[in-house]
Amino acid sequence: MPTGNAPPSVRPMTTGRTDGARVVRPGGAGARRGRAGPRAERFAPYLLLAPAALVIVVLRLYPLLLGVNFSFTGDGERNGVAVGLDNYLELLRDPLFRTALSNVGLLVLLLPVAVAIPGLLATFIYLRVPGHRLYRSVYFFPGVLSPVIVGAIFNLLLAFDGPFNALLGAVGIDAVDWLGDPGVAMFVVVGVHVWATFGMALVVFLAGFATLDAGLLDAARVDGASLLQVIRHVIVPGLARTIQFVAVTTMIGMLTSMFGLLYVMTSGGPEGSTYLPEYYIWIQQGQMNRPALASAASTVLFLVMLGVGLLQIKLLRRAGRED
């Protein structure tokens, strides 16, 4: 269902934009004062929109402001008292939050890999590797499972005395404490997240490929271009928008949908090494009863997401211009 193929229409499509004073659509205005009075008709769009707008404003946008405001007040005895930047200073001093932030840095570093894997696989599928239809549906399927289920399954597989280590032992590799070693656990959790979600990104890539000019690919192939050259000179520039979209959504996904995995697989451990901001927020709010501190962490997370989004868009624009 792409946007491009809207059926042609004589009347300009109303796209949610309005030109101000005109309340009734042009064309046949006299006929539309049917049963309901003109007044009721005039308010109809607002009444249709009101429930959705109300829910979104009250339960999404307003809490954002409330949370920012809340982050400048205190917890416990200082509940409701303005404390300036105290919460933010405490965050900076807290080793757990610092780990959470450096793990965000790790996610940013791993992002190119998380985008390249589905991108490459989508390329192969697009180039009609034998069995491509089957691959598409197999790869996509872990994406529909809850992180809780994925985490539970990998808890089994990666247990110290579990099957994965048994397999490694069979080929003579020493067992690794996948979820118990602070130097390894975060990579394992990110790996499991990528295992679960690369199929989603793959589907998005394939939708992007559908908009790619097939003639260009054929031309490249006739000219004897290698696969790498095709990727570099035809696919990457042609899919710049898709790549940008996947990069942003993958990053947002890593920042906001790994809670289930962390909760089930590591509980933030070992030694706090798998903390991410979302897990920190939940611990401070739910377990430590520090809602104001949690709000400060939420505000930082929001700023990080905003920054990452803007930065990526900027970088990709520049890359696009150089090509």
Partner 1 sequence: MSHARLSRWLLAIPMSLLALATLYPLLFTVNVAMKTRRDYVLDRFSLTDALRWENISTAWGSVGLGRYFANSLVAVTSSVLLLLLLGSMAGFALSQLRFRGSSALFVACLAGLFVPFQVIMVPLARIMADSRLIDTYPGLILVYVAQFLPFTVFLMTSYYKTIPGEIVDAARIDGNSVYGVYRRIMLPLGTPALLSVGILDALFCWNDVLMSLVMMPSADHRTLMVGVTALKGQYADDIPTFASGVLIAAVPVLVAYLFLQRQIADGVAAGATKG
Residues in 272-291 at the binding interface with partner 1, rule: CB under 8 A: 277-278, 281-282, 285-286, 291
242 lies in the site for partner 1, by CB under 8 A: yes
CA distance 104 to 255: 7
61 lies in the site for partner 1, by CB under 8 A: yes
CA distance 85 to 73: 9
Structure tokens given for 114: 């998380």
Candidate ranges 90-98, 99-107, 126-134, 175-183; the one touching partner 1 (CB under 8 A): 126-134
Q: Nearest approach, Cβ of 301 to partner 1 (angstroms)?
A: 6
Alpha carbon separation from 197 to 86, 118, 181, 188, 312 (Å, rounded): 38, 9, 24, 14, 20
119 lies in the site for partner 1, by CB under 8 A: no
CA atoms within 13 A on the CB side of 63: 9
64 lies in the site for partner 1, by CB under 8 A: yes
**Cβ proximity to partner 1, 65 vs 183, nearer residue:** 65
Q: Nearest approach, Cβ of 164 to partner 1 (angstroms)?
A: 10
By CB under 8 A, the count of residues binding partner 1 is 120
Residue 48: exposed, middle, or buried by beta-carbon count in 10 A (0-12, 13-18, 19+)?
Answer: exposed
**Cβ proximity to partner 1, 31 vs 322, nearer residue:** 31
Nearest CA among 264, 103, 286, 247 for reference residue 187: 103
Write out the H or E segment, with its range, that includes residue 167.
Answer: helix 163-170
Candidate ranges 78-86, 94-102, 300-308, 315-323; the one touching partner 1 (CB under 8 A): 300-308
* Binding to partner 1, residues 2-41 (CB under 8 A): 2-3, 5-7, 9-11, 13-25, 27-28, 31-32, 34-36, 40-41
The binder of partner 1 chosen from 108, 184, 203, 220 (CB under 8 A): 203
Write out the H or E segment, with its range, that includes residue 283.
Answer: none
**Cβ proximity to partner 1, 130 vs 183, nearer residue:** 130
CB 248 within 8 A of CB 312: yes
**Cβ proximity to partner 1, 186 vs 308, nearer residue:** 308
* Binding to partner 1, residues 73-112 (CB under 8 A): none
The binder of partner 1 chosen from 91, 115, 194, 204 (CB under 8 A): 204
**Cβ proximity to partner 1, 111 vs 204, nearer residue:** 204
225 lies in the site for partner 1, by CB under 8 A: no
Q: Nearest approach, Cβ of 29 to partner 1 (angstroms)?
A: 10
**Cβ proximity to partner 1, 89 vs 167, nearer residue:** 167
At 214, is the secondary structure helix, strand, or coil?
A: helix
**Cβ proximity to partner 1, 160 vs 322, nearer residue:** 160
* Binding to partner 1, residues 135-194 (CB under 8 A): 135-149, 152-157, 162-163, 166
Q: Residues in the chain, how many?
A: 323
Nearest CA among 153, 161, 152, 167 for reference residue 180: 161
**Cβ proximity to partner 1, 21 vs 183, nearer residue:** 21
Q: Nearest approach, Cβ of 53 to partner 1 (angstroms)?
A: 6
Say which amino acid occupies 251: M
Residue 144's CB is within 10 A of a number of other CB atoms, namely 10
At 297, is the secondary structure helix, strand, or coil?
A: helix
**Cβ proximity to partner 1, 168 vs 322, nearer residue:** 168
Residue 166's CB is within 10 A of a number of other CB atoms, namely 11
Peptide bond into 270 cis (omega under 30): yes
